[in-house]
Structure 1
Amino acid sequence: MHLTIKSLLATSAALAMLWPALAQANPITIADPGYATAQGTAYVVKVLLEEQLGKEVEAVKAGSVPVIWEALNRNGGEIDIWTDVWLPNQQALVDQYAGEGGKVKLAANSYAGTQGYCTTKATADKHDIHSVFDLADPAKAAVFSADGKGKGKIWIGAAGWLSTNIETVRARDYGFADFFELQTTDEAVTTADLDAAVKAGTGWIGYCYGPHQNFARYALEVLEEPKHDDAAWTFVEPSDPNWLEKSAIKSAYKDAAIHIAYSGSLAESAPEVAAILEKVTFTTDAVSKLAFAIAVEGKAPDDAARDWIAANPDVVAGWTGN
């Protein structure tokens, strides 16, 4: 009897030690970086896996792209899926974590994305600001200041975005950095600033990317830039202490290709999930509409995703084979 109790106690202790690991490995985790376009694609994948495969999927708040990739590569279940891999912005991370020796899978399918600088069309027309080189004119830069006289304010992205580092280089090399305060607030803050500027008829300018709900919400103009030139685009990762000095960018972005990435451990433990992730692809218009539903109409990302899936049965059937 005493031996049986001891055995039971030992077994219970072993199970107690094992349970946290089992519990942690259960849900599939998907990164939610907090901005509407990535939330749209993330929650469509989340709802898809829940409704089509009966999987338990948890959205994990994660605002830093390098941290997302590190978590993917650890293969520990912290983050299993990342639906907003912009190339070439994240190329160095793809090379590091999805290349030789990496533990992350990059799905082959992608959809198009664009990047640049936007202002309101009213501001562009009123002050004749149509080119990125117009921003190097102190008088035109002052249009975007609080008093119309001092340094302008330009949003170059949120902290933690790889594009924000790229924009720091571009602001310098396009010659307007000295005439602007380079702002790195959260996207929600700059969207509120843009909305206020539109209503007040004042100047706003910043980094912009498509797909994005703001193109459906406001009349925006994308400033002209020199066509993308690989020879005029050198970007060194900030892990190098001299990255800013070594980087040089004097042309527009190449149109981006936006992919899904997922952990190697997910591919091994749930190959049926990996098979769907390899088929999932969006259109720029579809993601803009998802983002509009979340950011402008105020829908919860889960609800926006369910509505979109219900409205696009043929697209979903192509992903799932049903």
Structure 2
Amino acid sequence: MMKNLFLSAVVSSLVLTGANAAFSALPGEGVTVKPARATWNTGFFQEALVRRGLEQLGYDVEKPKDLQNPIFYKSVTLGDVDYWTNGWFPNHEGQFPKNFYDYADAYGYVVKAGGLQGYLVSKEHVEKYDIKSLDDFKRDEVKEAFDKDGDGKADMTACPPGWGCETVIAHHMDVYDLDDHINPIKASYEAGMASAIAAYRAGEPIFFYTWAPNWTIFKLKPGEDVMWINVPEIIPKESQKSGVDRMTQSGIEGAVSDPIKLGYVVSDIRIVANKKFAEANPAIKKFFELVEIELVDINEQNTRMNAGEKSQKAIEGHVDEWIADNQETWDKWLEEAKKAAQ
């Protein structure tokens, strides 16, 4: 009788031990993941944060490959890479290969409506000259105030040659008949913005293009230091037509009007992954669906990179701090992801 009780206890113990081991096993154990990363550094923080989550779920995550947009979208459909965190929708859709959605998809919203682009002007001078749109730069007193080099045109910090935004700015100069009124400065963007910030601090008028997430609108806060202004009317480029309804946006902080005609397609920042990879890894799929980061947090981190904290070690430190500041949310994401794999 005692022997049978002893054997029963041993068996029960082994069963419980096995159950606990199965429960505690991480869903990613034994699985290698191949991430990619965008070439613009304002997306590096999001990549590092998501990668950290996958590592904490037990996945072996390789060093990300830095890829240009079209190369990534082709690679993810082929399965050469598994995912990236830097999809802009609908802004990137024109760069997708044929049958993209047969092999890949977007998951969750890293930042809903976070991919903003447009034109900003120092708030003091928006109010002084009653500036509402690019059309106001046709007025002589406005051109004179923003003319830095004496050529009779308002100077605007714009995009360097080769950037996608350069072609949109050129389109705006053409369709709104602004070539004789605005001079887009196409030198180094960081140098141009450093000069604009110095001018702002000296009380001078400034006028620039920017996007979000970006350090520029953390240092120059819309609504406090600068204001988003309108384009005169929505005249999309061919590549923008599919997203024309997102070129006008409501609820933008620091806009001169609500809604505001930005002239650029406002994008959602989303994680893009190979479909087979996502379906084979339900914990990853769930984690992708849950990840959401406040735009102000990304802008702040981008500002720190711009100030010199741009090494991978520094970025990983920024991830540590974000997780510590959002521990409850982070833990919930991980627990939900683990449950999805059970």
TM-score, normalised to structure 2's length? 0.67
Computed over aligned residues only, the root mean square deviation of the Cα atoms, in angstroms, reads 3.5
Match of 1:222 in 2: 228
Classify the secondary structure of the residue corresponding to 1:53.
coil
Classify the secondary structure of the residue corresponding to 1:181.
strand
Classify the secondary structure of the residue corresponding to 1:124.
helix
Letter in 1 for 2:91: N
| Cα 1:72–1:177 shift into 2, 3 Å | farther
Length, aligned pairs only: 279
Match of 1:195 in 2: 197
Contact 2:120 2:210 in 1 (8 A): yes
Classify the secondary structure of the residue corresponding to 1:107.
strand
Deviations, residues 76-119 of structure 1 (Å, cap 9, x unaligned): 13xx43323233322323585643x4x32211435122332012
1:75 and 2:79 matched:
yes
Classify the secondary structure of the residue corresponding to 1:89.
coil
Match of 2:44 in 1: 39
| Cα 1:59–1:149 shift into 2, 3 Å | same
Rounded to whole Å, the distance in 2 between the matches of 1:142 and 1:88 is: 38
Q: Does 85-94 or 111-120 show the bigger shift?
A: 85-94
Rounded to whole Å, the distance in 2 between the matches of 1:234 and 1:149 is: 29
Matches within 5 A, 1:210-289: 210-218=212-220, 219-225=225-231, 232-237=234-239, 251-252=261-262, 253=264, 255-264=266-275, 266-267=277-278, 270-289=281-300
Match of 2:53 in 1: 48
Rounded to whole Å, the distance in 2 between the matches of 1:93 and 1:215 is: 27
Letter in 1 for 2:106: L
Contact 2:108 2:288 in 1 (8 A): no
Contact 1:89 1:163 in 2 (8 A): no
Contact 2:120 2:229 in 1 (8 A): yes
| Cα 1:169–1:96 shift into 2, 3 Å | farther
Match of 1:66 in 2: 70
Contact 1:27 1:58 in 2 (8 A): no
Match of 2:316 in 1: 302
Contact 1:107 1:278 in 2 (8 A): yes
* Unaligned segments of structure 1, at least 5 residues: 1-24, 244-248
Matches within 5 A, 1:5-154: 28-36=34-42, 38-62=43-67, 64-77=68-81, 80-93=82-95, 96=98, 98-99=100-101, 101=102, 103-109=103-109, 110-113=111-114, 114-137=116-139, 140-154=142-156
Classify the secondary structure of the residue corresponding to 1:106.
strand
Rounded to whole Å, the distance in 2 between the matches of 1:161 and 1:319 is: 35
Match of 1:176 in 2: 178
Rounded to whole Å, the distance in 1 between the matches of 2:193 and 2:45 is: 17
Identity %: 19
Deviations, residues 153-192 of structure 1 (Å, cap 9, x unaligned): 3244355554443333223223323333334455433332
| Cα 1:72–1:56 shift into 2, 3 Å | same
| Cα 1:52–1:195 shift into 2, 3 Å | farther
Rounded to whole Å, the distance in 1 between the matches of 2:187 and 2:73 is: 22
| Cα 1:81–1:156 shift into 2, 3 Å | farther
| Cα 1:139–1:226 shift into 2, 3 Å | closer
Classify the secondary structure of the residue corresponding to 1:157.
coil
Rounded to whole Å, the distance in 2 between the matches of 1:159 and 1:98 is: 29
| Cα 1:144–1:42 shift into 2, 3 Å | farther
Contact 2:38 2:66 in 1 (8 A): yes
| Cα 1:309–1:157 shift into 2, 3 Å | farther
* Unaligned segments of structure 2, at least 5 residues: 1-30, 242-246, 249-260, 337-342
Match of 1:7 in 2: none
Rounded to whole Å, the distance in 1 between the matches of 2:36 and 2:274 is: 10
Contact 2:32 2:59 in 1 (8 A): no
Classify the secondary structure of the residue corresponding to 2:155.
strand
Classify the secondary structure of the residue corresponding to 2:159.
coil
Rounded to whole Å, the distance in 2 between the matches of 1:204 and 1:314 is: 41
Rounded to whole Å, the distance in 2 between the matches of 1:105 and 1:276 is: 15
Q: Does 301-310 or 188-197 show the bigger shift?
A: 188-197
Classify the secondary structure of the residue corresponding to 2:91.
coil
